[in-house]
Amino acid sequence: MSTDLVTVDIGGTHARFAIATIGEDGAITLGEPETLHTDDHASFQTAWEDFRKRMGGTLPPRIAMAIAGPVGDDVIRFTNNPWIIRPALVRQKLGVDDYCIVNDFEAVAHAVARAPEDQFLHLAGPDQPLTDDGTISVMGPGTGLGVAHLWRSAGEYRVQATEGGHIDFAPLDTIEDAILARLRKRHRRVSVERVVSGPAIVDIYETLAAMENRKTREEDDIAIWTRALEDGEGLAAAALDRFCLSLGSVAGDIALAQGGFGGVVIAGGLGYRLRDHLPKSGFAQRFRAKGRFGELMATIPVKLITHPQPGLFGAAAAFARNLR
C-alpha cells in the first residue's frame, strides 16, 4: 500500500512544499512543488496553512521536514530565518498524525543515497560513480553552506548531518587575506559560510573592487550573481571565479575532515546554477591542493546532483526510512 505525505524543504529564503507518494516498493514520487518566501509568512504554521489552501483545503496527515538548522532540541531555530518549530506541538498545530524532521543537508544526503547515477553531473576527479562502500561528503552553497555525509555498504546507508559550514575560513592567497580582513570588521570569527554562500558574493565583489580602487553602488547578491552568470561583466565575473576557487578549497577540506574519499557531491540551487562554470574554473585545482594529500584528493570523484528538488526528495526518503 502506498503512503502519501507532505514533504517540505525550509531554507533561509524559501520554503518548498510538495505532495510525495512512497510506493509499496519504496519508490518515491514527488508532485509539483510550491515555493513560498519565508519573509512572506510569520511562521511555518501560516506557510503550511497557505500551502493547504493552495491544495484545495486538505493535505495528507503526514509530513517530512528538511530544516536549515540544527535538529533535535525542544525548540528548533533556523540558522538564516526567524521561524521556530516546537516538535512536540507539530501534530497539534498542523493537524498531522506522523512527522519526520531532519536537517536540510541530511535530507540532501538521503537524496544522494537514493538518486540514480544519471542524476549526477561529473565536476572533477576521476569520472566514475560514487562509491557503494565508503563515505561520501555532501555540501552545497545557498543562503548558507550546508554540509552532511553518508556511509554506504552492502546496499544500506546511513546519513549524518553536520554543521560543517561553520568551520573557520582559511585563506590561501593575498586576495583571500583581503576578503578575510573585510569580513573580520563585522565578524570576530569568520566561518567558511561567510565566503562560500550566495550572499558571500557581495563581500568578494566589494573586496576586489577596493583592490582596484573602484567605487561601487550598494546592491544585493542577486544582482551580482546575475551579472556574473549572465552578463559576464568583468568584476562580477572575477568575483565568481574567486567564489569557485574558495568552494573547491572548502570541498576538499570537508572531504579530508569527513573521510569522504568515496566521493564528494555538490548540491543546492546555487550549486546547480554553477554547473557549467565549475568544471571550467579553478575549482578542481583548489580541491586537490592539499599538500601531501594532493595525490589522494585527485582520486576522489566530485559530482553535482541534478535532481530538481533534492531537499524535498530527501526529506521524503528520510520519512520512508523511518517508516520502514
- Residue 90 labeled ligand binder: no
Query: Over pLDDT 90: what percentage of the chain?
Result: 84
Distance between CA atoms of residues 130 and 259, nearest Å: 14
Is a pLDDT exceeding 70 seen at residue 14? Answer: yes
* 136 neighbors 291 (Cβ within 8 angstroms): no
Query: According to the annotation, is 264 in a ligand binding site?
Result: no
Instruction: Judge whether 265 is annotated as a binding position.
Output: no
**How many Cβ atoms sit within 10 Å of the Cβ of residue 168?**
10
Nearest CA to 313 out of 68, 111, 64, 12 is that of: 111
| In the chain, domain spans | 3-115+307-323, 164-305
Model confidence band, residue 218 (pLDDT cutoffs 50, 70, 90): confident
96 is in an annotated binding site: no
Lookup: cell for 106: 541530511
Helices 174-184 and 234-258 pack at an angle, to 10 degrees, of 90
pLDDT of residue 215: 87
243: its cell numbers: 567564489
pLDDT, tens digit (0-9, with 9 covering 90-100), for 61-96: 999 999 987 887 789 887 678 889 999 999 999 999
Residue 324 pLDDT exceeds 70: no
Which alpha helices (H) appear in the chain, and where do they start and end? 44-54, 90-94, 104-114, 174-184, 200-211, 221-226, 234-258, 269-273, 283-288, 294-297, 310-323
Backbone angles phi, psi at 296, to 5 degrees: -65, -45
Contact indicator for 147, 164 with CB cutoff of 8 Å? yes
Task: Check if the beta carbon of residue 273 is closer than 8 Å to that of residue 263.
Answer: no
- What's the CATH number for 164-305? 3.40.367.20
Span 275-291, pLDDT tens digits = 999 999 999 999 999 99
The predicted structure's pLDDT at residue 277? 94
Q: Distance between CA atoms of 82 and 12, rounded to whole angstroms? A: 9
pLDDT one-digit tens code per residue, 95-152: 999 999 998 899 999 999 999 999 999 999 999 999 999 999 999 998 889 999 999 9
Query: Is 250 annotated among the ligand-binding residues?
Result: no
Torsion-angle region of 108 (φ positive above 0: left; ψ -120 to 50: alpha; else: beta): alpha
Distance between CA atoms of 315 and 105, rounded to whole angstroms? Answer: 10
| Cβ atoms of 169 and 185 closer than 8 Å | no
User: CA 8: distance to chain centroid?
Assistant: 14
For 3-115+307-323, CATH number? 3.30.420.40
Q: Per-residue pLDDT tens for 108-121? A: 999 999 999 999 99
Is residue 9 marked as binding?
A: yes
- Reported as a single tens digit per residue, the pLDDT across 36-66 is 999 999 999 999 999 999 999 999 999 999 9
How much is the pLDDT for 77?
85
Model pTM?
0.90
What are the grid coordinates assigned to 112, written together? 544522494
Give the C-alpha separation, 97 to 99, whole Å.
7
Can you tell me which residue has the cell 510550491?
A: 34
Arithmetic mean of pLDDT over the chain: 94
Q: Which residues, other chains included, contact 66 with Cβ-Cβ below 8 Å and sequence gap of 6+?
A: 7, 8, 9, 10, 102, 103, 104, 106, 107, 108, 311, 312, 314, 315, 318
